[in-house]
Structure 1
Amino acid sequence: MSSIRKRFLFSAGANVARAAISLAVGLLVARGLGPTDYGNLAYLLGSFWAIRALLDMGSSSAFYTFIAQRGRDSHYYLVYFSWLAFQFLFSVVLVTLLLPSAVIESFWLGQDRELILLALLATFLQNQVWLTVVQMHEAERKTIRIQVAGLFVILAHLVLVASMLVSQWLSVRAVLWAIVGEYFVAAVWLSVRLRITEPQPSGVDGARDGLRSVVLAYIQYCRPMAVIAVFSFGYEMADRWLLQRYGGAAQQGFYQVAAQLSTISLLAASSILNIFWKEIAEANERGAHERVAGLYLKTTQSLVFLAAGVTCFLAPWAELLVDVLLGSAYHAAWPVLFLMLFYPIHQAIGQINGTLFMATGRNSVYMRLTVTGLLVSVPVSYVLIAPGSALGGVGLGLGAMGLALKILGLNFLFVNIQSWVISRCYGIQFQWRNQIGAIVILLLIGYACKFSVDQLLAWIQPSFGASARIGMLIGMIGAGLLYLGGVLMVLMLIPRLAGMTQHEVTGYLQKIRNIGRLGGNER
């Protein structure tokens, strides 16, 4: 088995396990806190995620691209770690000393300063520090180690959250402290264990780099990314602030629950992203442009089909999922969940597109496309979220539903513009029809399977007196089996929707049969 395939399969398996545990944690926290407190938690973490993106200015992408290309000497690490320390200290000083109370009140809408600082620390450890540890391990092709560690972190979080819920200690503050402790311990332990590849000797594929040249390399890479960072901050904060200000914390909670449940469809993309980045950066450094184009096309088509496969199975069950998993307090969130389930399909493409642009140094192109999308996004958010009585009197007051509509529509439009630009750069076919075809066909199969199972349960369930949860579980298992058969039929008849050939589909099915026979023989 090739190194890429082995790392991807392990990464995918670990991500499935981690996502399942993360989803369980999210449901426990959402139910334990209720929509309002859960919305406040989401707003605190989301606001610092946006600030992190602003201060980062693309430096994390530069850091990973540089260390993924080849072994680097200590200057690359020294510059980046110093920059991380500056970001954290500047954020703390900003919140504690520089921002007046009136600004704190307007920006964080009633949250106390101590809780804001705790959210800052939790976000910094969970995003910047942990991301750096992950990138350093992926650059050394230590995918298995970092995935196992990530799995242990989320398991620890599940245990802590469940304990707090049982003991009635669960609160926004307690959840933030749990995040701080988990990621601090994990980051320190993994950093101590990592051994960095030594840079190549002077005169072999580039000489050792001096501190000045490293700083200039970061500046050159990050210049267009800094523009993206400024506009991304405005975009993220506009969405979250508008929703918190005009919709309220409960609407923020509805949106966050829907967004978290929808990430199930992003499992495949998150599994392959860092691996794809490493291989693309290395191939581009060697000038192997045909390999770059081939990896991109194959990865994109496969991920669209995988994400659509998960989305189109879950979408028909959106209302029941919300009611059973979260309770009646969140019932109004189900239309938001239905829409958000489709977001990961094109988000997966967008992540692959962004990775290709950054890993190949096409940051200026990526910057122009991204900034255009962000500029369009903010006024659309205002119109859809703000009420008609707000400034300008043009708002529709749709709250979380409006934000979901905006994200879904604009993501589809601008991701396909990115894909078209990439197809022109590498002379490959722009296959937007496959996206629509896969979604429509799989969604029809999903609804047909749910309808069939609903009819069967309507006849069986009264006889056994099964509860709603048991009925949903039985129904989803039955529909899942039917759906899997339908997906396999689509793969056999139209393999190009998944970026595969008839021969490849047949080969994979044969391997599955061989594994089944082997298991039967062992018994």
Structure 2
Amino acid sequence: MVERGATVLSVKRRLLFSVGANMARAAISLIAGLLVARGLGPSDYGNLAYLLGSFWAIRALLDMGSGSAFYTFIAQRHRGRLYYLVYFGWLGFQFVFSTALVIQLLPQSLVDRFWLGQSRDLVVLALLATFLQNQVWQTVVQIHEAARMTVRIQVSGLLIISTHVILVSAMLLGDWLSVRSVLSAIIVEYLVAAAWLSGALRRGVVRNADDGGAASVGGVVSEYLAYCRPMMIIAVFTFCYEITDRWLLQRFGGSSQQGFYQVAAQLSTISLLATSSVLNILWKEVAEACARGDNARVIVLHQKATRFLMLLASGVSCFLAPWAENLVVALLGDAYHAGWPVLFLMLFYPVHQTMGQINGTLFMATGRTHSYMKVTVSGLVVSVPVSYLLIGPTDGVWVSGMGLGALGLALKMVCLNILFVNIQSWMICRQYLAAFRWYYQLLPIVTLLSVGYGSMFTVRVLAPGLAAGMDKSELFFGMLGSGFLYAFIFVTLLIYAPSVVGLRKDEMAPVIEKVKHGVRDILRKLK
């Protein structure tokens, strides 16, 4: 009992620190992204986004679910060095193969067609940046989280992104900000960080790992293959899906449309702060519960995380959505004004993306990769033709599209995400014999969006000087006043009418009691 209590306390502490660190890192990352977007302009920023996005897709193809397998295995219990060595060897192969492919094996004509005129050396820089930022750094994060070293890895992440802001600011001041310089900065930052932490990981986590029942390299490889076999299918379809979306938008919309979409996607991630903070922690706890056969704890963790995190994502998105046009102009300038409807739509994408990430975490952490593969591949197969219809040219040779550019891609992302994430949730509820309650998805959005618009209009009526809100100062004070009113109504609903925002009173009662005790303690200390 004491051990379980200590574990719960450890989870809470790690969760609170992770949320705080992620909020700080996301804020700094957003500043860096806005500086880069404003400094490069929509066209060059779109080229940067396309280069990084294309290698993200290639990374997913080469990874084939091995990263998820690695984290699930080391999260379940201590593993022997073979688990680490096999995975590190696989990472090395991915790097060597992809580098040789880009530098030597692909003909120039294919490079021009695929990356649409980007120079080969710039493509190589994008490859190095994405490999270090995603595969290498993500592995470092996973090992730390599996060892419950959340504080250390979160502090390291903050140092990296803070360094990035300093470098980008220096580039802007020195008037040498470019796609090449941004990629070079990413490479240096993550290379130094990974090298700095690797020594401690080798001395600590990996050295103290036990054999975990693995007798040979063949046994470890077989376990990885058993986990990854369904994921290999997902990897192929994910690659096609990601490349199709990015290429269609770059080819038929142009680099500026790519820039509009990337800015909208980046700003919308504000709503994912809480979710991204807890996913690795949730993965660890679900994997352990599944290994113990504690299915009741698995579904409780899933349902609580889904309801509360979706409510938080809805709260942020519904507050920001009415200010979409003002945010784009004030933060990025008139060059990005045409992209504000894309931001408005994309602000709602994180709401169900939260749900999808929690669902994916449960599927991966419990090893149900085959079920996850079925619904994911179905969504990816449907997504590709829908992308063409929305983005493709209106005068297509075989099939005409709607030519909506970034707006079309945003529309597809939001609608298909809602559909297939709900299919995932229904499958999970059926597996664990739990009720599938869909209303907690709709109620928060409708209620809070109404509150968001009401708060904005109230502030503008009381302060007519903020009617335009395109200036930075107008935006700040307008959103500040609206935010106070929005937060007051939000908290009031949570306390007195939680069902209106998709929660049950019995779920909110313990939270309210803890808050009351906290306030009493603070007042007692002040006296």
Using structure 1 for the length normalisation, give the TM-score: 0.96
Cα deviation, residue 489, structure 1: 1.4
Cα deviation, residue 200, structure 1: 4.6
Counterpart check, 1:94 vs 2:101:
yes
Q: Is the 8 A contact 2:132 2:187 kept in 1?
A: yes
Change (3 A) 1:515 1:184: farther
Deviations along 1:432-454, one digit per CA (max 9) or x if unpaired, are 11110011111111111001011
The percent identity for this pair of structures is 59
What is the CA–CA distance in structure 2 between the aligned matches of 1:325 and 1:209, rounded to whole Å? 57
Q: Is the 8 A contact 2:55 2:130 kept in 1?
A: yes
Counterpart check, 1:494 vs 2:500:
no
Structure 1: gaps of 5 or more residues: none
SS of the equivalent of 1:196 reads: helix
Structure 1 residues 396-411: aligned runs within 5 Å: 396-411=402-417
SS of the equivalent of 1:501 reads: helix
Aligned alpha-carbon RMSD (Å):
1.6
Q: Is the 8 A contact 2:329 2:470 kept in 1?
A: no
Q: Which of 237, 242, 245 is matched with 2:248 structurally?
A: 242
What is the CA–CA distance in structure 1 between the aligned matches of 2:272 and 2:155, rounded to whole Å? 19
Q: Which of 302, 305, 313 is matched with 2:311 structurally?
A: 305
| Runs of 4+ more than 6 Å apart | none
Change (3 A) 1:498 1:155: farther
Q: Which of 219, 225, 228 is matched with 2:225 structurally?
A: 219
Match of 2:488 in 1: 485
Match of 2:58 in 1: 51
Deviations along 1:289-324, one digit per CA (max 9) or x if unpaired, are 111011011111111100001000000000000010
Change (3 A) 1:486 1:80: same
SS of the equivalent of 2:442 reads: helix
Counterpart check, 1:186 vs 2:189:
no
What is the CA–CA distance in structure 2 between the aligned matches of 1:520 and 1:325, rounded to whole Å? 40
Deviations along 1:142-169, one digit per CA (max 9) or x if unpaired, are 0010001000000000000000001101
Counterpart check, 1:171 vs 2:178:
yes
Q: Is the 8 A contact 1:37 1:172 kept in 2?
A: yes
Q: Residue 417 of structure 1 aligns to which amino acid in structure 2?
A: I
Q: Which moved more, 1:45-54 or 1:182-191?
A: 182-191
Structure 1 residues 108-507: aligned runs within 5 Å: 108-194=115-201, 195-196=204-205, 198-200=208-210, 207-458=213-464, 468-495=471-498, 497-498=502-503, 501-507=507-513
Change (3 A) 1:200 1:80: closer
Q: Is the 8 A contact 1:491 1:505 kept in 2?
A: no
Q: Is the 8 A contact 1:492 1:505 kept in 2?
A: no
Q: Which moved more, 1:477-486 or 1:376-385?
A: 477-486
Cα deviation, residue 466, structure 1: 10
What is the CA–CA distance in structure 2 between the aligned matches of 1:516 and 1:36, rounded to whole Å? 52
Structure 2: gaps of 5 or more residues: 1-7
Q: Which moved more, 1:425-434 or 1:306-315?
A: 425-434
Cα deviation, residue 55, structure 1: 0.2
What is the CA–CA distance in structure 2 between the aligned matches of 1:265 and 1:498, rounded to whole Å? 19
What is the CA–CA distance in structure 1 between the aligned matches of 2:65 and 2:227, rounded to whole Å? 8
Change (3 A) 1:199 1:192: closer
Cα deviation, residue 519, structure 1: 6.5
Deviations along 1:311-346, one digit per CA (max 9) or x if unpaired, are 000000000000100000000110000000000010
Cα deviation, residue 10, structure 1: 0.4
Q: Is the 8 A contact 2:231 2:373 kept in 1?
A: yes
Q: Which moved more, 1:72-81 or 1:385-394?
A: 385-394
Q: Residue 469 of structure 1 aligns to which amino acid in structure 2?
A: K
What is the CA–CA distance in structure 2 between the aligned matches of 1:41 and 1:359, rounded to whole Å? 33
SS of the equivalent of 2:339 reads: helix
What is the CA–CA distance in structure 2 between the aligned matches of 1:42 and 1:512, rounded to whole Å? 45
What is the CA–CA distance in structure 2 between the aligned matches of 1:242 and 1:86, rounded to whole Å? 30
Q: Which of 24, 33, 46 is matched with 1:26 structurally?
A: 33
Q: Is the 8 A contact 2:330 2:470 kept in 1?
A: no
Cα deviation, residue 467, structure 1: 8.5
Q: Which moved more, 1:511-520 or 1:227-236?
A: 511-520
What is the CA–CA distance in structure 1 between the aligned matches of 2:231 and 2:466, rounded to whole Å? 56
What is the CA–CA distance in structure 2 between the aligned matches of 1:467 and 1:309, rounded to whole Å? 23
Q: Is the 8 A contact 1:336 1:401 kept in 2?
A: yes
Q: Residue 151 of structure 1 aligns to which amino acid in structure 2?
A: L
Cα deviation, residue 210, structure 1: 1.8
Match of 2:5 in 1: none
Q: Residue 220 of structure 2 aligns to which amino acid in structure 1?
A: V
What is the CA–CA distance in structure 1 between the aligned matches of 2:469 and 2:343, rounded to whole Å? 26
What is the CA–CA distance in structure 2 between the aligned matches of 1:218 and 1:466, rounded to whole Å? 54
Cα deviation, residue 392, structure 1: 2.2
What is the CA–CA distance in structure 2 between the aligned matches of 1:147 and 1:102, rounded to whole Å? 43
Cα deviation, residue 429, structure 1: 1.4
Cα deviation, residue 509, structure 1: 2.9
What is the CA–CA distance in structure 2 between the aligned matches of 1:316 and 1:153, rounded to whole Å? 32
Counterpart check, 1:11 vs 2:18:
yes
What is the CA–CA distance in structure 2 between the aligned matches of 1:171 and 1:64, rounded to whole Å? 35
Counterpart check, 1:76 vs 2:83:
yes
Q: Which of 46, 49, 66 is matched with 2:73 structurally?
A: 66
Cα deviation, residue 394, structure 1: 2.2
Cα deviation, residue 199, structure 1: 3.9
What is the CA–CA distance in structure 1 between the aligned matches of 2:215 and 2:368, rounded to whole Å? 22
Using structure 2 for the length normalisation, give the TM-score: 0.95
Q: Residue 179 of structure 1 aligns to which amino acid in structure 2?
A: I
What is the CA–CA distance in structure 1 between the aligned matches of 2:83 and 2:244, rounded to whole Å? 34
SS of the equivalent of 2:205 reads: coil
Q: Is the 8 A contact 2:64 2:232 kept in 1?
A: yes
Q: Residue 32 of structure 2 aligns to which amino acid in structure 1?
A: V
What is the CA–CA distance in structure 2 between the aligned matches of 1:505 and 1:309, rounded to whole Å? 17
What is the CA–CA distance in structure 1 between the aligned matches of 2:330 and 2:417, rounded to whole Å? 29
Q: Which moved more, 1:250-259 or 1:471-480?
A: 471-480
What is the CA–CA distance in structure 2 between the aligned matches of 1:25 and 1:473, rounded to whole Å? 19
